Structure 1
Amino acid sequence: MNRPVVVGVDGSPSSLVAADHAARAAVLRSRPLHLVHGYLHALGYGVPINPYELGIPEPSDEAEKMLERVAADLLGRWPGLAVEARQVAGGPGATLVEESRRAELVVLGSRGHGGFAGLLLGSVGTQVTAHAHCPVLVVRPAEEPIPVDGPVLVGVDGSEAAELAVGQAADEAARRRAELVLVHVRVPDEDAGGTAALLDTAAAAAGGSHPGLAVTTRELHADKPEAALIDASRDGALVVVGTRGRGGFAGMLLGSVSQSLVQHAHCPVLVAHPYGHAR
Structure 2
Amino acid sequence: MNGPVVVGVDGSDSALAAVDVAAREARMRDVRLRVVHAFTWPAMHAPGASPLGPPAGAIHQAVEHLLTQAVGRASAAAPEVEVSHAVIPGEELTVMEAQSRTAQLIVVGHRGTGGFLELLLGSTAVHLSAHAHCPVMVVRGRPDPAGPVVVAVDSSPQSQPALAFAFAEAALRGADLLALHAWSTWADHGEHRFGDPVDLVDLIDDVEQLQAEEERVLAEALSGHRERYPELTVETSLVRKRTRPALIEASDSAQLMVVGARERGGLSAMFPGSARHAVLHHARCSVTVVPSDL
TM-score where L is the length of structure 1? 0.86
Q: State the Cα RMSD in Å.
A: 2.5
The answer to whether the Cα contact below 8 Å between 1:244 and 1:254 also exists between their aligned partners in 2 is no
- 1:89 aligned residue: 89
Aligned equivalents of 1:106 and 1:250: distance in 2? Answer: 19
Aligned equivalents of 2:258 and 2:52: distance in 1? Answer: 38
The answer to whether the Cα contact below 8 Å between 1:203 and 1:215 also exists between their aligned partners in 2 is no
2:268 is equivalent to residue 252 of structure 1:
yes
CA displacement at 1:167 relative to structure 2: 0.7
- 1:216 aligned residue: 235
Amino acid at match of 1:85: H
Aligned equivalents of 1:35 and 1:209: distance in 2? Answer: 33
Amino acid at match of 1:265: A
Amino acid at match of 1:162: S
The answer to whether the Cα contact below 8 Å between 1:111 and 1:121 also exists between their aligned partners in 2 is no
Amino acid at match of 1:252: S
- 2:184 aligned residue: 187
SS of residue paired to 1:101: coil
CA displacement at 1:137 relative to structure 2: 0.2
Amino acid at match of 1:171: A
The answer to whether the Cα contact below 8 Å between 1:101 and 1:134 also exists between their aligned partners in 2 is yes
Aligned equivalents of 1:26 and 1:162: distance in 2? Answer: 25
Amino acid at match of 1:173: A
Q: Unaligned regions of 5+ residues in structure 1, if any?
A: none
Q: Structure 2 matches for 1:227-242, cutoff 5 A?
A: 227-242=245-260
SS of residue paired to 1:150: coil
Q: Taking every aligned residue pair, what percent have the same amino acid on both sides? A: 36
Residues 157 and 9 of structure 1, relative CA distance in 2, 3 Å threshold: same
Aligned equivalents of 1:27 and 1:62: distance in 2? Answer: 28
- 1:80 aligned residue: 80
Is the deviation greater in 21-30 or in 117-126?
117-126
Residues 205 and 133 of structure 1, relative CA distance in 2, 3 Å threshold: same
Query: Structure 1, residues 194-242: CA drift from partner, whole Å, max 9, x if none?
Result: 21112222333221121211111001111x2111111111111111101
Aligned equivalents of 1:214 and 1:24: distance in 2? Answer: 23
Q: Structure 2 matches for 1:1-279, cutoff 5 A?
A: 2-40=2-40, 45-48=41-44, 57-58=51-52, 60-116=60-116, 119=119, 122-141=122-141, 144=142, 147-188=144-185, 191-222=210-241, 224-244=242-262, 251-252=267-268, 256-273=274-291
SS of residue paired to 1:271: strand
CA displacement at 1:118 relative to structure 2: 7.8
CA displacement at 1:17 relative to structure 2: 0.4
The answer to whether the Cα contact below 8 Å between 2:160 and 2:292 also exists between their aligned partners in 1 is no
Query: Structure 1, residues 6-49: CA drift from partner, whole Å, max 9, x if none?
Result: 00011211000001110111011111000000011xxxx52129
Residues 103 and 203 of structure 1, relative CA distance in 2, 3 Å threshold: same
Aligned equivalents of 1:243 and 1:37: distance in 2? Answer: 25
CA displacement at 1:251 relative to structure 2: 4.9
The answer to whether the Cα contact below 8 Å between 1:120 and 1:263 also exists between their aligned partners in 2 is no
Is the deviation greater in 224-233 or in 21-30?
224-233
Amino acid at match of 2:42: G
Aligned equivalents of 1:124 and 1:250: distance in 2? Answer: 15
SS of residue paired to 2:80: coil
Residues 29 and 254 of structure 1, relative CA distance in 2, 3 Å threshold: farther
Aligned equivalents of 2:293 and 2:262: distance in 1? Answer: 16
SS of residue paired to 2:76: helix
Residues 186 and 127 of structure 1, relative CA distance in 2, 3 Å threshold: closer
Residues 140 and 121 of structure 1, relative CA distance in 2, 3 Å threshold: farther
SS of residue paired to 2:43: coil
Aligned equivalents of 2:34 and 2:129: distance in 1? Answer: 18
Amino acid at match of 2:52: E
The answer to whether the Cα contact below 8 Å between 1:64 and 1:87 also exists between their aligned partners in 2 is no
Q: Which has the larger radius of gyration?
A: 2
